[in-house]
Amino acid sequence: MGQSLLVLIEGTDELLPVAKGIGARRIDGSIYHWHAPASGDMPETFISCTGVGTKRSYECTVKRIAECKPGLIVSAGTFGAIVDGVSLTHWLCIARSRMLGDQSEGRAFKQDLDGGARARPYVERLREGLKAVGGTPLDGLLVCVGDVPLFHEEEKARLAKANSAIGVDMETFGIAKASEEAGIPWVVARVCVDTPTIPLPDFGALSPVTGRPYYGRLFKWILTHPIAAVPTLYGLWKLVNVYGKQLAEIIRRGYLKP
Protein backbone atom coordinates (compact mmCIF):
# COMPACT_ATOMS: atom_id res chain seq x y z
CA MET A 1 0.00 0.00 0.00
CA GLY A 2 1.03 3.59 -0.45
CA GLN A 3 1.89 6.13 2.21
CA SER A 4 -1.01 8.54 1.79
CA LEU A 5 -3.50 9.34 4.53
CA LEU A 6 -7.22 8.89 3.87
CA VAL A 7 -9.61 10.84 6.11
CA LEU A 8 -13.30 9.95 5.87
CA ILE A 9 -15.95 12.25 7.35
CA GLU A 10 -19.71 11.76 7.28
CA GLY A 11 -20.81 15.31 6.45
CA THR A 12 -19.65 18.29 4.42
CA ASP A 13 -19.95 20.68 7.38
CA GLU A 14 -17.43 18.60 9.32
CA LEU A 15 -15.23 18.05 6.27
CA LEU A 16 -14.71 21.61 5.05
CA PRO A 17 -12.74 23.06 8.00
CA VAL A 18 -10.37 20.07 7.89
CA ALA A 19 -9.81 20.32 4.13
CA LYS A 20 -9.25 24.06 4.26
CA GLY A 21 -7.04 23.73 7.33
CA ILE A 22 -4.50 21.58 5.49
CA GLY A 23 -4.68 23.53 2.25
CA ALA A 24 -6.46 20.77 0.33
CA ARG A 25 -8.03 21.35 -3.07
CA ARG A 26 -11.13 19.80 -4.58
CA ILE A 27 -10.65 16.74 -6.75
CA ASP A 28 -12.39 17.37 -10.09
CA GLY A 29 -14.26 20.29 -8.55
CA SER A 30 -16.18 18.07 -6.13
CA ILE A 31 -17.10 19.36 -2.67
CA TYR A 32 -17.02 15.75 -1.47
CA HIS A 33 -13.43 14.81 -2.34
CA TRP A 34 -10.25 16.78 -1.54
CA HIS A 35 -6.51 16.29 -1.87
CA ALA A 36 -3.43 17.90 -0.31
CA PRO A 37 0.14 17.02 -1.35
CA ALA A 38 2.72 16.06 1.25
CA SER A 39 4.34 19.07 2.87
CA GLY A 40 6.90 19.02 5.67
CA ASP A 41 5.69 16.57 8.33
CA MET A 42 2.25 16.28 6.69
CA PRO A 43 1.69 13.20 4.51
CA GLU A 44 -0.15 13.31 1.21
CA THR A 45 -3.75 13.48 2.37
CA PHE A 46 -7.08 12.64 0.79
CA ILE A 47 -10.33 13.72 2.48
CA SER A 48 -13.76 12.45 1.43
CA CYS A 49 -17.35 12.80 2.60
CA THR A 50 -18.89 9.36 3.10
CA GLY A 51 -22.46 10.49 3.60
CA VAL A 52 -24.58 9.10 6.43
CA GLY A 53 -24.87 5.44 7.38
CA THR A 54 -22.87 2.25 7.50
CA LYS A 55 -23.61 1.09 3.97
CA ARG A 56 -22.60 4.41 2.42
CA SER A 57 -19.45 4.65 4.50
CA TYR A 58 -18.41 1.12 3.52
CA GLU A 59 -18.97 1.74 -0.19
CA CYS A 60 -17.17 5.09 -0.09
CA THR A 61 -14.18 3.57 1.72
CA VAL A 62 -13.87 0.72 -0.76
CA LYS A 63 -13.92 3.17 -3.66
CA ARG A 64 -11.45 5.58 -2.11
CA ILE A 65 -9.03 2.79 -1.19
CA ALA A 66 -8.91 1.75 -4.83
CA GLU A 67 -8.27 5.34 -5.92
CA CYS A 68 -5.90 6.58 -3.19
CA LYS A 69 -3.95 3.48 -2.07
CA PRO A 70 -3.73 4.80 1.51
CA GLY A 71 -1.40 3.58 4.23
CA LEU A 72 -3.72 4.73 7.04
CA ILE A 73 -7.46 5.44 7.22
CA VAL A 74 -9.18 7.75 9.72
CA SER A 75 -12.86 7.61 10.63
CA ALA A 76 -13.37 11.28 11.45
CA GLY A 77 -16.29 13.54 12.24
CA THR A 78 -18.68 13.31 15.17
CA PHE A 79 -20.21 10.89 17.66
CA GLY A 80 -22.87 11.04 20.34
CA ALA A 81 -22.09 10.17 23.95
CA ILE A 82 -24.50 7.67 25.49
CA VAL A 83 -23.16 7.80 29.06
CA ASP A 84 -22.64 10.58 31.57
CA GLY A 85 -19.14 11.90 32.14
CA VAL A 86 -18.32 12.65 28.50
CA SER A 87 -18.13 16.32 27.53
CA LEU A 88 -18.67 18.18 24.29
CA THR A 89 -15.31 18.68 22.50
CA HIS A 90 -13.86 15.42 23.89
CA TRP A 91 -12.58 13.04 21.19
CA LEU A 92 -12.81 9.28 20.91
CA CYS A 93 -9.32 8.16 19.84
CA ILE A 94 -9.62 4.40 19.40
CA ALA A 95 -9.57 1.56 16.88
CA ARG A 96 -12.69 -0.38 17.89
CA SER A 97 -16.26 -0.49 16.59
CA ARG A 98 -19.29 -2.67 17.30
CA MET A 99 -22.06 -3.07 14.74
CA LEU A 100 -25.62 -3.29 16.06
CA GLY A 101 -28.76 -4.29 14.22
CA ASP A 102 -31.41 -1.90 12.95
CA GLN A 103 -34.38 -0.78 15.03
CA SER A 104 -36.44 -3.65 13.62
CA GLU A 105 -33.79 -6.05 14.96
CA GLY A 106 -33.82 -4.55 18.44
CA ARG A 107 -30.27 -3.23 18.04
CA ALA A 108 -28.95 -6.76 18.53
CA PHE A 109 -25.18 -7.35 18.51
CA LYS A 110 -23.82 -8.19 15.05
CA GLN A 111 -20.03 -7.92 14.93
CA ASP A 112 -16.98 -6.40 16.62
CA LEU A 113 -13.97 -4.99 14.78
CA ASP A 114 -10.70 -4.16 16.52
CA GLY A 115 -7.64 -2.65 14.84
CA GLY A 116 -5.46 -4.47 17.37
CA ALA A 117 -1.70 -4.19 17.67
CA ARG A 118 -1.31 -2.81 14.15
CA ALA A 119 -3.46 0.23 14.96
CA ARG A 120 -2.11 0.83 18.48
CA PRO A 121 0.87 3.06 17.49
CA TYR A 122 -1.43 5.25 15.37
CA VAL A 123 -3.95 5.60 18.20
CA GLU A 124 -1.18 6.58 20.60
CA ARG A 125 0.15 9.17 18.15
CA LEU A 126 -3.35 10.54 17.58
CA ARG A 127 -3.84 10.98 21.33
CA GLU A 128 -0.45 12.63 21.59
CA GLY A 129 -1.33 15.00 18.76
CA LEU A 130 -4.72 15.86 20.25
CA LYS A 131 -3.14 16.77 23.58
CA ALA A 132 -0.57 18.88 21.72
CA VAL A 133 -3.35 21.02 20.20
CA GLY A 134 -5.25 21.35 23.46
CA GLY A 135 -7.81 18.55 23.07
CA THR A 136 -8.97 15.77 25.37
CA PRO A 137 -8.83 12.13 24.16
CA LEU A 138 -11.24 9.44 25.36
CA ASP A 139 -11.03 5.66 25.34
CA GLY A 140 -14.08 3.40 25.17
CA LEU A 141 -16.30 1.37 22.87
CA LEU A 142 -18.10 3.07 19.98
CA VAL A 143 -21.23 1.29 18.79
CA CYS A 144 -22.50 1.79 15.26
CA VAL A 145 -26.16 1.94 14.17
CA GLY A 146 -26.77 1.81 10.46
CA ASP A 147 -30.31 2.99 9.81
CA VAL A 148 -31.40 6.06 11.79
CA PRO A 149 -29.75 8.26 14.42
CA LEU A 150 -30.48 7.73 18.12
CA PHE A 151 -32.48 10.58 19.62
CA HIS A 152 -34.18 8.94 22.62
CA GLU A 153 -32.19 8.99 25.84
CA GLU A 154 -33.82 5.79 27.10
CA GLU A 155 -32.54 3.85 24.09
CA LYS A 156 -29.07 5.38 24.44
CA ALA A 157 -28.91 4.37 28.10
CA ARG A 158 -30.07 0.85 27.30
CA LEU A 159 -27.47 0.40 24.55
CA ALA A 160 -24.72 1.84 26.75
CA LYS A 161 -25.49 -0.64 29.50
CA ALA A 162 -25.94 -3.64 27.20
CA ASN A 163 -22.67 -3.00 25.33
CA SER A 164 -20.51 -1.26 27.96
CA ALA A 165 -20.18 1.50 25.34
CA ILE A 166 -19.68 5.23 25.72
CA GLY A 167 -20.60 6.52 22.25
CA VAL A 168 -22.56 5.92 19.06
CA ASP A 169 -22.13 6.83 15.39
CA MET A 170 -23.38 5.56 12.03
CA GLU A 171 -20.27 5.26 9.85
CA THR A 172 -17.23 3.90 11.67
CA PHE A 173 -18.05 0.21 11.32
CA GLY A 174 -18.41 0.52 7.53
CA ILE A 175 -15.10 2.36 7.30
CA ALA A 176 -13.40 -0.17 9.57
CA LYS A 177 -14.81 -3.15 7.68
CA ALA A 178 -13.53 -1.92 4.32
CA SER A 179 -10.17 -1.06 5.88
CA GLU A 180 -9.83 -4.50 7.46
CA GLU A 181 -10.74 -6.22 4.18
CA ALA A 182 -7.99 -4.25 2.42
CA GLY A 183 -5.44 -4.89 5.18
CA ILE A 184 -5.05 -1.19 6.02
CA PRO A 185 -4.75 0.12 9.60
CA TRP A 186 -7.53 2.43 10.74
CA VAL A 187 -8.27 4.72 13.67
CA VAL A 188 -11.22 6.71 14.98
CA ALA A 189 -10.84 10.46 15.54
CA ARG A 190 -14.34 11.71 16.36
CA VAL A 191 -15.53 14.59 18.51
CA CYS A 192 -18.50 14.45 20.89
CA VAL A 193 -21.34 16.73 19.78
CA ASP A 194 -24.12 15.56 22.10
CA THR A 195 -24.46 13.98 25.52
CA PRO A 196 -27.33 12.59 27.62
CA THR A 197 -27.71 16.02 29.25
CA ILE A 198 -27.06 18.09 26.08
CA PRO A 199 -28.81 16.19 23.26
CA LEU A 200 -28.76 17.17 19.61
CA PRO A 201 -31.88 18.81 18.23
CA ASP A 202 -34.20 16.21 16.72
CA PHE A 203 -34.10 17.22 13.07
CA GLY A 204 -35.34 13.79 11.98
CA ALA A 205 -33.56 11.95 9.19
CA LEU A 206 -30.44 13.62 7.76
CA SER A 207 -29.51 13.93 4.10
CA PRO A 208 -27.65 10.68 3.37
CA VAL A 209 -25.32 12.53 0.97
CA THR A 210 -24.30 15.70 2.83
CA GLY A 211 -25.04 14.70 6.42
CA ARG A 212 -27.03 17.91 6.90
CA PRO A 213 -30.62 18.23 8.13
CA TYR A 214 -33.20 18.67 5.40
CA TYR A 215 -34.00 22.37 5.12
CA GLY A 216 -37.73 21.92 5.66
CA ARG A 217 -37.20 20.03 8.93
CA LEU A 218 -34.49 22.45 10.01
CA PHE A 219 -36.71 25.51 9.47
CA LYS A 220 -39.60 23.78 11.25
CA TRP A 221 -37.35 23.11 14.25
CA ILE A 222 -36.19 26.76 14.25
CA LEU A 223 -39.78 28.02 14.19
CA THR A 224 -40.80 25.74 17.06
CA HIS A 225 -37.68 26.57 19.12
CA PRO A 226 -37.15 30.30 18.48
CA ILE A 227 -35.25 31.00 21.71
CA ALA A 228 -32.92 27.99 21.56
CA ALA A 229 -32.34 28.07 17.80
CA VAL A 230 -29.55 30.63 17.50
CA PRO A 231 -27.37 29.53 20.45
CA THR A 232 -27.86 25.85 19.63
CA LEU A 233 -26.99 26.09 15.93
CA TYR A 234 -24.13 28.52 16.55
CA GLY A 235 -22.77 26.20 19.25
CA LEU A 236 -22.80 23.25 16.88
CA TRP A 237 -21.14 25.27 14.11
CA LYS A 238 -18.43 26.53 16.47
CA LEU A 239 -17.80 23.04 17.91
CA VAL A 240 -17.42 21.47 14.47
CA ASN A 241 -15.10 24.22 13.30
CA VAL A 242 -12.86 23.98 16.37
CA TYR A 243 -12.71 20.21 15.85
CA GLY A 244 -11.86 20.64 12.16
CA LYS A 245 -9.03 23.05 12.93
CA GLN A 246 -7.62 20.73 15.58
CA LEU A 247 -7.72 17.72 13.25
CA ALA A 248 -6.09 19.75 10.48
CA GLU A 249 -3.31 20.80 12.86
CA ILE A 250 -2.76 17.18 13.92
CA ILE A 251 -2.44 16.17 10.26
CA ARG A 252 -0.11 19.06 9.43
CA ARG A 253 2.19 18.15 12.32
CA GLY A 254 2.49 14.56 11.09
CA TYR A 255 0.76 12.81 14.01
CA LEU A 256 -1.32 10.79 11.54
CA LYS A 257 1.45 9.93 9.14
CA PRO A 258 1.13 6.35 7.74
Domain residue limits, the chain: 4-252
Report in angstroms the alpha-carbon separations of 75 from 21, 157, 257.
Answer: 17, 24, 15
CATH topology classification for 4-252: Rossmann fold (3.40.50)
pLDDT at 231 over 60: no
End-to-end CA distance of the chain: 10
Asked if 32 and 19 count as a contact pair (C-beta separation under 8 A), the reply is no
Residues in CB range of 211: below 8 A, 6 or more apart = 10, 11, 12, 13, 14, 49, 51, 52
**Mean pLDDT of all residues in 199-224:** 61
Please, which pLDDT band fits residue 225 given cuts at 50, 70 and 90?
low
Q: Cα(61)–Cα(68) distance, rounded to whole angstroms?
A: 10
What are phi and psi for residue 43, nearest 5 degrees?
A: -75, 165
The pairing of strands 4-9 and 70-81 is: parallel
Question: pLDDT of 152-182, one tens digit each?
Answer: 778 888 999 999 999 999 999 999 999 999 9
What is the model's pLDDT at position 61?
A: 98
**Mean pLDDT of all residues in 1-30:** 92
Please, which pLDDT band fits residue 77 given cuts at 50, 70 and 90?
very high
What is the model's pLDDT at position 1?
A: 45
> Between residues 122 and 151, which one has the greater pLDDT?
122
Question: pLDDT of 42-64, one tens digit each?
Answer: 999 999 999 988 999 999 999 99
DSSP state of 103: G
What is the model's pLDDT at position 197?
A: 78
Question: Whole-model pTM?
Answer: 0.90
What is the model's pLDDT at position 104?
A: 80
pLDDT at 230 over 60: no
